[in-house]
């Protein structure tokens, strides 16, 4: 009995010490973490300020929720631990909603759809074997995935592929291209993309939206998109706002604001100039 009493006291003390755990928390300020280096979703301008699609969207959502928001740059691989430690209240960084991540944090409804494709240097033999394909293939459709993977595996055999460390691209490669390619992980998209252009990796994989941004930055003479786009499964249901599981009221607030931004066309309005496509979840 004493053991359970001590545990109860400890839980009460923890809730008091960390107001984000309290059930009656009134949200007037939300601390948001983003990477600040994931062009064009989010990036850091020369003057040190943050910009990009997600920064504009975050500010819009915060206005709808009538809360003050502070947005801070944080490395991707430390975001979730920092969130659960109470350093931030929300993550907005093209974080895919996957079953594995849902074990440790909660997500809002998706604010952007995501599909994964590939990019290679324009003068590579991969570029001569694979063309860009606008088809989006669900990873739940085994037959379609197998058919799409055959030419990919043939073109990528024994090539070095660049992924972002701690990202869903790693899970995708390990699930579908294990034994076919050599994987090299990078902490930042810029480092990955520069290694592709310089020939240190043969191909990279990531969200089509982000890779389109990389092509725009590096130049169409340096990089090109190849292959089909895959969605769902290990890639997730789309990008959502990450939060602590106990912050149910904050989740409800973000869900309501995202729904409004979908319905009034704000997500479409913000995404088309950035990505060239509407990323509004359907």
CA dist., res. 81 & res. 59, Å (int): 24
pLDDT the model gives residue 114: 83
Residues 124, 217: contact at Cβ < 8 Å? no
CA dist., res. 112 & res. 268, Å (int): 10
Task: Return per-residue pLDDT of the chain as tens, 282 residues.
Answer: 333 333 333 333 344 444 444 445 789 999 999 999 988 899 999 999 999 999 999 999 999 999 999 999 999 989 999 999 999 999 999 998 988 899 999 999 999 988 899 999 999 999 999 998 878 899 999 999 999 999 999 999 999 999 999 789 999 999 999 999 999 999 989 999 999 999 999 999 998 888 988 998 899 999 999 999 999 889 888 999 999 999 999 999 999 999 999 999 999 999 999 887 788 987
pLDDT the model gives residue 133: 86
Residues 109, 259: contact at Cβ < 8 Å? yes
Q: For residue 136, give the H/E element and its range.
A: strand 132-138
pLDDT the model gives residue 21: 45
Q: For residue 100, what are the CA distances in angstroms to 42, 85, 114, 137, 171?
A: 24, 19, 17, 21, 10
CA dist., res. 224 & res. 174, Å (int): 23
> How many other C-beta atoms can be found within 10 angstroms of the C-beta atom of residue 199?
11
| CATH, range 28-113+238-275 | 3.40.190.10
pLDDT the model gives residue 129: 95
pLDDT the model gives residue 182: 98
Which residues make up the CATH 3.40.190.10 domain(s) of the chain?
28-113+238-275, 116-235
- Report the largest interatomic distance among the alpha carbons of the chain, rounded to a whole angstrom: 71
Query: Among 197, 208, 140, which residue's Cα sits nearest to residue 169?
Result: 208
Burial of 55 (0-12, 13-18, 19+ CB in 10 A): buried
pTM of the predicted protein model: 0.71
Alpha helices per DSSP H over 78-167: 79-84, 99-102, 125-129, 142-156
Would you call the peptide bond into 172 cis, given omega within 30 degrees of 0 as the criterion? no
**End-to-end CA separation in angstroms for the chain:** 52
Query: Among 155, 189, 152, 191, which residue's Cα sits nearest to residue 172?
Result: 152
Question: Residue 274 corresponds to which tokens in the numbers above?
Answer: 């950035």
Question: Residue 178 corresponds to which tokens in the numbers above?
Answer: 């294990």
Query: Among 145, 126, 149, 129, which residue's Cα sits nearest to residue 137?
Result: 145
| CATH, range 116-235 | 3.40.190.10
Query: Among 213, 37, 198, which residue's Cα sits nearest to residue 123?
Result: 198
pLDDT the model gives residue 75: 92
């Amino acid at each position: 009995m004493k053991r359970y009493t001590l545990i109860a006291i400890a839980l009460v003390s923890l809730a008091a010490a960390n107001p984000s755990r309290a059930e009656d928390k009134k949200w007037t300020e939300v601390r948001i973490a983003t990477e600040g280096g994931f062009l064009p979703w989010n990036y850091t301008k020369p003057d040190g300020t943050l910009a990009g699609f997600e920064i504009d969207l975050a500010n819009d959502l915060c206005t709808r929720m009538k809360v003050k928001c502070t947005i801070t740059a944080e490395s991707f691989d430390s975001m979730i631990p920092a969130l659960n430690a109470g350093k931030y209240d929300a993550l907005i960084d093209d974080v895919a909603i996957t079953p594995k991540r849902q074990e440790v944090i909660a997500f809002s409804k998706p604010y952007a759809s995501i599909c994964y494709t590939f990019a290679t240097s324009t003068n590579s033999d991969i570029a001569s074997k694979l063309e860009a394909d606008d088809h989006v293939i669900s990873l739940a459709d085994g037959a379609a995935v197998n058919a799409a993977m055959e030419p990919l595996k043939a073109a990528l055999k024994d090539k070095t592929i660049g992924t972002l460390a701690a990202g869903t691209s790693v899970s995708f490669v390990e699930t579908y291209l294990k034994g076919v390619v050599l994987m090299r992980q990078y902490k930042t998209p810029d480092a990955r993309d520069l290694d592709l252009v310089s020939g240190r990796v043969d191909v990279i994989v990531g969200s089509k939206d982000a890779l389109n941004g990389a092509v725009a930055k590096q130049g169409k003479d340096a990089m090109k998109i190849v292959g089909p786009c895959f969605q769902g499964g290990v890639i997730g249901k789309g990008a959502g706002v990450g939060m602590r599981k106990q912050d149910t009221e904050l989740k409800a607030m973000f869900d309501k604001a995202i729904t409004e931004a979908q319905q009034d066309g704000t997500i479409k309005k913000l995404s088309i100039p950035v990505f060239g496509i509407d990323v509004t979840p359907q």
